[in-house]
Amino acid sequence: MEELLSILEELHPEVDFETETGLVTNGIIDSFDIVTIISEIGDRFDVVVSAEYITPENFDSAETIYDMIQRIEEEE
């Protein structure tokens, strides 16, 4: 989770990603941020985020992103 928080904080250092639960729904991150997050997740966690995982629900908080990473890791 710390690695993920690091990725997110590099994008938006002004956001408290440990408590924020509306990253997409509140417009804190946009589609360009999601592309960057997906790329960084791929590099740092060695996973491939396929199109089926690219939903607002999976990117609405650090916790939902981390849960998605864990699901992908389990499937690979």
- What's the CATH code of the domain at 12? 1.10.1200.10
- Our count of domains for the chain comes to 1
Q: Which pLDDT value is given to residue 17?
A: 97
pLDDT digits (tens, 9 = 90+) for 14-55: 999 999 999 999 999 999 999 999 999 999 999 999 999 999
Q: What is the pTM of this model?
A: 0.95
Q: Which pLDDT value is given to residue 76?
A: 83
Given phi > 0 = left and psi -120 to 50 = alpha, else beta, which region is 46?
left
Domain range holding 44?
A: 2-75
pLDDT digits (tens, 9 = 90+) for 59-68: 999 999 999 9
Q: How confident is the model at residue 13 (pLDDT cuts 50, 70, 90)?
A: very high
